[in-house]
Amino acid sequence: MMARDRRSSCENAIREIWTAEEERGEPMRAEELDPEELSALQEDGLVEVREGLVRLTERGRQEGRQMMRRHRLAERLLSDVLGMDKSSIHAISCEFEHSVAPELEEKICTLLGHPRSCPHGRRIPEGNCCLQAKWVVESAVKPLSAMREGEEGEVVYISTLDPQVARKMTAMGILPRTPIRLVHKRPAYVFEVGLSTFAVDETIADAIFVRTKG
């Protein structure tokens, strides 16, 4: 097993390898990693090295996915709930990802409304709570589509990986901390932002996450 005092650095390495494989589509080279960390990962059955390329085993892939999920949920929590600037959340999230229990991870995800992307626009891998999610009253943050007619709140974040949709919503003035009120849901989602009123379809209403009042 990996020595306890090296676990955090080894977990960081797993996350980096996962990112290279899953998001960039290219494995890391062995020389890019610390030799001792790489050896520890091999001994623990998390990676394999062939022809100088490092690839995650199935177990390593699952662990890397969970590390990235915790890291990006932490970024979302720090940015959306605590109001920290995006430029300062990465280092804290690196510490957070090593110490969060699975039960707490799911509680945080539910609290945030099961976000699909981090503040930098990168995908958050889904957890079991996301697959089973039903928007409930206890959730502090929920999509505009789950609000009641007449309900008010404050925009927390936009969850979309489509830059055109993001630009459209920005042009509407849908920005973090902007007051928003849902007028009605049919035949379209009509809401007020400032002195303006807009109508959008369900796809966009699902992407606008709001912290409701009360």
Fold of 141-212: SH3 type barrels. (2.30.30)
- Name the band, by pLDDT with cuts 50, 70 and 90, for residue 137: very low
| Residue range 40-71, pLDDT digits in tens | 999 999 999 999 999 999 999 999 999 999 99
Sign of CA dihedral 177, 181, 184, 187: negative
Contacts of 211 (CB under 8 A, 6+ apart): 140, 141, 153, 154, 156
Sign of CA dihedral 158, 129, 4, 24: negative
The alpha helices in the chain, defined as continuous H runs, are: 7-22, 35-43, 58-76, 89-96, 102-111, 128-131, 163-171, 202-207
Does the structure show a pLDDT above 80 at 173? yes
CATH class of 1-133: mainly alpha
Sign of CA dihedral 77, 78, 81, 85: negative
Compute the mean pLDDT over every residue in the chain, rounded to the nearest whole number.
86
How far is Cα 198 from Cα 160, in angstroms, rounded to an integer?
18
Does the structure show a pLDDT above 80 at 133? no
Contacts of 167 (CB under 8 A, 6+ apart): none
Domain ranges of the chain: 1-133, 141-212
Do the first three CATH levels of 1-133 and 141-212 match, i.e. the same topology? no
Does the structure show a pLDDT above 90 at 91? no
**Which of 198, 213, 195, 207 is closest to 153 using CA atoms?**
213
One-letter identity of residue 55: R
Phi-psi region of 45 (alpha: psi -120 to 50; beta: other; left: phi over 0): left
pTM over the 0.85 mark: no
Return the structure tokens found at 193. 């932002």
